[in-house]
Amino acid sequence: MTPVPRPSRRTVLAAAAVGALTLGATVALPAVQASAATGCAVTYTTSDWQGGFTATVTISNLGDPVTGWTLGFAFPDAGQRVSQGWSATYQQSGTAVTARNLDYNGTLGTGASTTIGFNGSWTGANPKPTTFTLNGVTCTGGTTTGSPSPTPTTPTPTPTSSPSTPPPPTGSTPVAINGQLRVCGVNLCNQYGRPIQLRGMSTHGLQWFAQCYNDASLDALANDWRADLLRIAMYVQEQGYETNPTGFTNQVNALVDKAEARGMYALIDFHTLTPGDPTYNLDRAKTFFASVAARNAAKKNVIYEIANEPNGVSWSTIKNYAEQVIPVIRANDPDAVVIVGTRGWSSLGVSDGGNSDEIVNNPVRADNIMYTFHFYAASHKDAYRNEVQRAASRLPLFVTEFGTVTYTGDGAVDTASSTAWLDLLDRLKISYANWTYSDAAEGSAAFRPGTCAGGTYAGTSVLTQSGTFLRDRIRTPDSFPTS
């Protein structure tokens, strides 16, 4: 069928940013003098694998209020190293490690706590530190170590018997294997604390192509394409959400349920484009995300993308928007991953002549977040790939949208550039969603025009060149480690 006319696609390039701080990164610290701690407790839990681990450290202040803190501990083994940390700045000398607060988490009232973490490496053995100090005072109030536990003050049994250790998967779908996702360092990690990559497809605008997202087409995406992810692109303007908030919210929730039923993750995309300033839609975003987060909080398959492609605005404006919207989500769904758009049509600023340094130097003040990067392979090549590779060692990135064609969403498939991009994303374990799982009359569409008016979606006979290329890439076996 002929799609409803709509504005052409936009300039997209880019890369994402940071919820993680690299070892030794320069961060603004409080100007006030750190005050003494008179009592503290620490929970130190890890998810280990051969040669590496992710550590989560919860610091509880049991004494007088503290303004500015330094946590100290020593690794028991000389081969243990901090490689990259978040929510604090880290220094290591020999086996001794210090972690200093950031500006947003430096004040700990009596009974207050904060959680920090880092990725590390080890050779020989990976025993847990047993002694911690807070501003020079030894923490004796219930310090515990072990594997991740939902009850930080309770010592954790060995992983083989611990109820906090996720059990083996009971199914073979992406959600059954990986469970609730979280950000660890610069990676997207599964319930076992192991870095993973999700691969999937993005819908087109629900206002134009709702007929493409039925049970048969989503069965094909899950079973024939073997996709891990459905990105639900809900335009805000362009005959989208602003015209019928309740109706579009219900559409999104229905697709979340359909993805969940098929074991796929659902990426809820608040698809802002024009105007490019996300604060234009701040009140709408708060209303929408409060609703969908409350409704879907118990689900393990939901990821939130809070601004599709900011453009024409500064990083500080985008950051300010994110720091107002994320708490709305966290109030109802504290565990889900949130993805923040970046400057220059989510290009990490590259399309505006910038780069990811602005995000590294001024990250969003929130945990469990990732940063967006978009590209169109025929338009965005080596310069963009080089920036993604550079940024990926410092920021958790998620390619929530990309195309095999030009930034307009149309034109011929650039197979060579698309292959180079996906090889890079695979190597870096950066998740992605392709634009688009639709039958739009444009080169980026996966289906031939008219496909969504019929009932056949599986196989290659209904696919465009772009669709065939993506299906072949997505349906190769996933690597979802569970130990």
Would residue 238 show up in a list of annotated catalytic residues for this protein?
no
Asked if the peptide bond before residue 449 counts as cis, ω within 30 degrees of 0, the response is no
* Phi and psi torsions of 217, nearest 5°: -70, -35
Sheet of 89-93, strands arranged across: 89-93, 96-100, 70-74, 132-134, 137-138
Burial class (CB in 10 A: 0-12, 13-18, 19+), 432: buried
CA-wise closest residue to 478 among 186, 200, 231: 200
Where are the strands (E) in 368-409, listed by range? Answer: 369-376, 397-403
Active-site pick, 260, 309, 358, 387: 309
What kind and span of H or E run contains 359? helix 357-361
Asked if 193 contacts 147 with a C-beta cutoff of 8 angstroms, the reply is no
Active-site pick, 260, 305, 387, 401: 401
Name the DSSP class of 154: S
Which residue is listed with tokens 């497809």?
Answer: 201
Q: Distance (Å, rounded) from C-alpha 267 to C-alpha 458? A: 22
Asked if the peptide bond before residue 76 counts as cis, ω within 30 degrees of 0, the response is no
- Positive or negative, the CA dihedral 229, 7, 449, 409 is negative
| The residue type at 85 | G
| The residue type at 147 | S
Where are the strands (E) in 87-131, listed by range? Answer: 89-93, 96-100, 107-108, 113-121
Rg of the chain, C-alpha, whole Å: 23
Which residue is listed with tokens 């690597």?
Answer: 479
Asked if 62 contacts 113 with a C-beta cutoff of 8 angstroms, the reply is no
Would residue 401 show up in a list of annotated catalytic residues for this protein?
yes
| The residue type at 40 | C
Query: Which are the catalytic amino acids?
Result: 309, 401
